[in-house]
């Protein structure tokens, strides 16, 4: 009995002597874990692209007819407007590689002594790989520069077959070519995923070509270089994964 009485008394004393919990007492500190910075290295862009060839320096060599050859003659290549798809992979937040995909059609005509001559048409497939540096210290505005290379395939080629001053181009072959590329542009991000893009590229495309000019029953071989060297000016949407 004495043992039970002593235990009860000790518990009562402990309860009454414990300090009361006050609302003013400092609460234990709790620090939330840092937010997870979700970053994905993939980005795609879809653009409307203006392709503006610069044909200065193109050559025309008509076999046996110097007066129809360069420097008296040259080539003109039409502009084109096409869609473009770009796929980018970021190795870091600033360094990326971009693969540029698109096809573009062009008509080729003569200038100078062969002005108005319909040489023909061809489609270009110029997949281009760019290595870029992105500047990341301007908030939503993200400018970049790039350099790279392309391999251009020319397909669906056809000669003009239109008589001009008694001459028609009856055969045309443009050779596939390698070339360099340079780029400058920017993304303006509207939120974490979506943004607007503006981009200017310069491709250096100077393929060789061969053709045949037919004047009555005479066939004249032609060869030369078609300096396409287009400016690519585009704008569109960016999506960052």
Q: What is the pLDDT of residue 33?
A: 62
CATH number for the domain running over 41-240:
2.40.160.20
Cα angle 206, 208, 211 (rounded to 5 degrees) comes to 135
**11: how many CB neighbours lie within 10 A of its CB?**
10
Q: Find out whether 233 and 49 touch, Cβ atoms under 8 Å.
A: yes
Mean pLDDT value of segment 176-181? 97
Q: Find out whether 133 and 145 touch, Cβ atoms under 8 Å.
A: yes
Question: What is the model's pTM?
Answer: 0.82
Question: Which residues partner with 74 through β-bridges?
Answer: 111
pLDDT tens by residue, 148-176? 999 999 999 999 999 999 999 999 999 99
pLDDT of 122 higher than 70: yes
In this structure, the dihedral spanned by the alpha carbons of residues 160, 161, 166 and 167, taken in order and rounded to 10 degrees, is 60
- Return the percentage of the chain with pLDDT > 90, whole number: 83
Residue ranges of domains in the chain = 41-240
pLDDT tens by residue, 2-54? 444 444 444 444 444 445 445 555 565 656 665 555 789 999 999 999 999 99
């Amino acid at each position: 009995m004495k043992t039970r009485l002593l235990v009860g008394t000790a518990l009562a004393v402990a309860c009454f002597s414990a300090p009361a919990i006050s609302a003013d007492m400092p609460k234990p500190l709790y620090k939330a874990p840092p937010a997870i910075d979700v970053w994905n290295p993939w980005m795609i862009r879809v653009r409307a692209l203006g392709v503006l060839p610069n044909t200065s320096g193109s050559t025309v060599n008509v076999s046996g007819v110097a007066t129809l050859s360069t420097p008296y003659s040259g080539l003109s290549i039409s502009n084109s407007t096409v869609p473009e798809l770009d796929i980018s992979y970021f190795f870091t937040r600033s360094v990326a590689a971009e693969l540029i995909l698109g096809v573009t059609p062009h008509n080729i005509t003569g200038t100078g002594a062969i002005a108005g001559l319909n040489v023909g048409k061809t489609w270009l497939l110029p997949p281009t790989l760019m290595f870029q540096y992105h500047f990341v210290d301007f908030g939503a505005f993200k400018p970049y520069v790039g350099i790279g290379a392309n391999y251009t395939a020319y397909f669906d080629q056809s000669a003009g077959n239109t008589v001009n001053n008694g001459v028609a181009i009856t055969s045309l072959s443009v050779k596939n070519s390698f070339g360099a590329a340079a780029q400058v542009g920017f993304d303006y991000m509207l939120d974490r995923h979506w943004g607007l893009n503006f981009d200017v590229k310069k491709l250096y495309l100077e393929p060789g070509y061969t053709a045949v000019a037919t004047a009555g029953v005479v066939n004249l071989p032609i060869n030369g270089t078609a300096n396409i060297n287009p400016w690519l000016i585009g704008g569109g949407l960016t999506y960052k994964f």
